[in-house]
A and B are shown apart, each in its own frame.
Chain A
Amino acid sequence: MNESLGDTGLILNDPLLWEKGKKGRCGFSLPRRDVESAPLREDLIDEGPDFPDLSEVDVVRHYTRLAQWNFGVDTGMYPLGSCTMKYNPKINEKYASLPGLAGAHPLMPADLSQGALKMMFELEEYLTEITGMDATTLQPAAGAHGEFTGMLLIHAFHVRKGASRSKIIVPDTAHGTNPASAALCGYRPVAVSSNEDGILSADAVAEVMDEDTAGIMITNPNTLGLFEENSKEIAEIIHAKGGLVYCDGANMNAVMGVVKMGAIGVDVMQLNLHKTFSTPHGGGGPGSGPVCIKKHLEPFLPVPRVVRDNGTYVLAEDYPESIGKVQAFHGAFGVMIKAYSYIRRMGPKNLNKASQLAVLNANYIKERLKGTLHLPYDRPCMHECVFSDKHQAAQKIATMDMAKRLMDYGFHPPTVYFPLVVHGAIMVEPTETESKEDIDQFIDAFKAIVNEAKEDPDLLRDAPRSCKVRRLDETTAARKPCLAG
């Protein structure tokens, strides 16, 4: 391969905020005082928070240096499986900061908020269309929050039917958020194993489904990157016993314009705007997790709902069976703007194309690396593929060693040790925005690393050597936690 991307770079140290600065500095232009000081009861106040005093230059240098210690999609390929680290278009950021949108108060009367409401109404329509469902709420703040909202809807549905059920089926390949979200609603997750092809079999589901089970949470495509081929039949089994099908739509990037979840028996699903719809992850949020539902769950959706009435948009509260609210206001509006902008820029054909290319990239990596790395399920994949470290066992090299060594080559590692059903899993999701050259370079880097594992394994065990820090002591961090300075 050509020269590797990785380099030691220009990394400058910077102390913690409170280790710098001097009393009396300020990095904020204090507004003019145009009123007199008013009396204030002394017993209500004390000396104020112990913050450092910094100049604007202190603050700017500090965060510029911190930024340089970070790796983002804009830095390079970030093939983190199940996270859909696609490129985040810059124009989206500009729209989110338009003064009328960024400065809007959530409780302003609807007639003075038409632009925001129109955008939300249309975004709901688009997401409803893409998923093939009947209606959408934008209120949930993240994927897991969407799952929780979906579980609340299912719970409300069963309560209205006068039957509170106690269990929910969750496959062993599910994200950890699935059982945790179900548990928040008082449901006991019942695990069901995937079959030798890495997907759910209808028989396995039929075996555990009963009339005390509220439904199933199914991730499709699943976390092995495989399409749940039996999903329609599974939905029939669930519905026959009065249950509902929840689809974790975190992996929707594989099937836009290919599969409409509403047409294959899904009753409720969440989307992750910060995955499929290109909004940035921000180092762990803010995200947005809209929930799309079929008609029979509509009465339970969170309020207020955006409704169009004779060409104007209003916020409607009058849904007596609503589960209530999951956010104080309307959800992560600033994130919705970016997803809306993305959908408008892409249009229907490019959204479909994006899914095709995401699947193309993943299958290409799978084909080219499967001789190098162990591929536990050698089947056509969707948007991601899962390898393992089985072939490296002889050299006593584990997934984590290869992941860390990838950093030295200038790549963010894939998701590692997930899903749990694959020992030493390496879950690669390239997304559609990586070009063939970048993917070839990633493949070459991985091949070189596997070679190093044979010839000079210490290179991997000592990796990374080119980051700001070397491997960190996570055990001590957890055993003697220091969470504030």
Chain B
Amino acid sequence: MLYLPHTREDIASMLETIGVDDLDGLFSTVPEDCRFTGDLNLPEALTEWELNDHMKALSDSMATFPAYKVFMGAGSYEHFIPASVSYLLSRSEFVTSYTPYQPEMSQGTLQAIYEYQTLAARLMGVDVATASHYDGAAALAEALLMAARITKRRKVVISSLIHPLYRRVVQTYFEPTEYEVVQLPYLKSGTTDFAALDDMDDLAAVGIQSPNFFGCIEDLQAIGEKTHDKEALFIASFTEALAYGLLKNPGSQGADIVAGEGQSLGIPRSFGGPGLGMLGSRKKFMRSLPGRLVGLTKDLDGKRGFVLTLATREQHIRREKATSNICTNNSLCALAAAMYMASVGGTGIRELARLNYDKAEYLKAELKKAGCIISFDSPTFNEFVVEFPSGFEATHRRLLEKKIVAGLCLAPYYSELANHYLLCVTETITKEDMDTLVSCLRSCFQKSKQA
């Protein structure tokens, strides 16, 4: 086996040094009645060449871009990733290192994460960003717990237009706690109805996603002001980080904590994970942040260097009193995002984000012309909700056969929204793709009218 370097002679001489007769003798401290003596019931080893075929078959069975035109985002977005980013990210000094506990040997990871924290903080408009979390949903759950700890209050309020799967993660995290999670309804405009906040008390935090799950841009400033009137913390969430290449960032709109998903920033969709949980806050809450943080410092010669810092918040020091149980972050995903943000640049990210917006607006307009209803009139970024004629499910199926994924059906998440679909357009979708979608829809509608 090529991953196991020991020769028979090596094993014999090492066993002799140890003073046991055979490999089995190494396990003398495992009591007899704890020993498993059979063979594991697993498939026999494959050669690299056999496994190549097997994995290729698994991969080939999947419906993915570019063979499929996927007009579906909903928290997982298809964006171009420069070859240089994938290439640099495969440098094994980054890939095969551990959490940088020994900073002198890990300056590469540490500086890269410090730079990620900086760019992430600038993107979200906060003073401090952490070294990353598992995904946007976990980051949001941690942000809400953090707010409850800071304010010592018991109620957190989240918009029903936060990604439904994120809300389920929040529910799971909060279930064993003493805190209560309350949801805000939404308005006909496709944004959060926060009027109910007036009558609520004991509020720890209000969490709003923008662009929200319907793709609509929320009035963060107004909700933030209302939240602060209640002396609660305002948490902004997001699933499409690229939106902040164009839109005002949440920090500038009054968010105290920002938590969302950074998959759009150079990370492949990979069936939903690993993602990049982005989390940041105002400076005054820095010591309450969960997760790893990298800080700037100097070495003995006064040279610039970086270390993991504020460890007294963390589980390996504080144990049960820590701000979180997190040990690992998603470092390599943060590194991918930093490489991506550095490659696209300030000028580039704005152009790219604008292109996403313009393309989505183009499709919106074409769909309207084809007789579809754009369900909500609030401005959107690169996703929006369309109401199709009833019985659209069959059409959606037919389009799949033509390798077009005409958005995500919303009915399983919002039962009142039958025939409503969430569509997404990124820079990877061409005008031609959109025209094909619209013409297919037209001909389907035509046929069903005739029928």
Contacts and interface: CB of A to CB of B under 8 A. Distances in A.
Contact of B272 (A112, A142, A328, A351): A328
B21 interface: no
B347 A259 contact: no
Contacts of A10: none
Interface stretch (B196-204, B314-322, B368-376): B314-322
A38 B362 contact: yes
B76 A106 contact: yes
A332 B351 CA distance: 31
A345 B48 contact: yes
Given A284-B292, A433-B4, A470-B299, A176 B30 contact: no
A185 to B, nearest CB: 4
A390 B269 CA distance: 50
Interface centre among A155, A186, A348 (most CB of B within 10 A): A348
A484 B283 CA distance: 11
B28 interface: yes
Interface string A432-458: 111110000000000000000000000
B304 to A, nearest CB: 8
A485 B270 CA distance: 31
Contact of B309 (A344, A364, A367, A474): A474
A329 B26 contact: no
Interface string B88-111: 101111111111111111111101
A382 B373 CA distance: 65
B64 A105 contact: yes
A346 B114 CA distance: 38
Contact of B94 (A53, A72, A104): A72
B440 interface: no
Interface residues on A, range: 35 or more
Nearest to A352: B40
A103 B78 contact: yes
Contacts of B88: 59-60, 63-64, 67
B296 interface: yes
A176 B106 contact: no
B131 interface: yes
Contacts of B115: 16-17, 485
B31 A435 contact: no
Interface string B201-222: 0000000000000000100000
Contact of A330 (B99, B261, B273): B273
Contact of A35 (B14, B297, B315, B431): B431
B72 A477 contact: no
A468 B166 contact: no
A356 B26 contact: yes
A359 B63 contact: no
Interface in B1-49: 1, 3-6, 10-11, 13-15, 17-20, 23-24, 26-31, 33-36, 39-46, 48
A347 B46 contact: yes
Interface string A186-216: 1011000000000000000000000000000
B185 interface: no
A105 B309 CA distance: 36
Contacts of A285: 99, 132, 134, 274, 328-333
B73 to A, nearest CB: 9
Contact of B117 (A85, A141, A260, A483): A483
Given A351-B40, A470-B299, A105 B45 contact: no
6 contacts: A129-B41, A177-B327, A328-B163, A337-B55, A360-B26, A415-B101
Given A88-B95, A112-B62, 6 more contacts: A80-B101, A144-B315, A176-B317, A328-B165, A483-B295, A485-B118
CB-CB nearest 6 A-B residue pairs: A329-B272, A347-B45, A106-B272, A282-B332, A100-B59, A70-B108
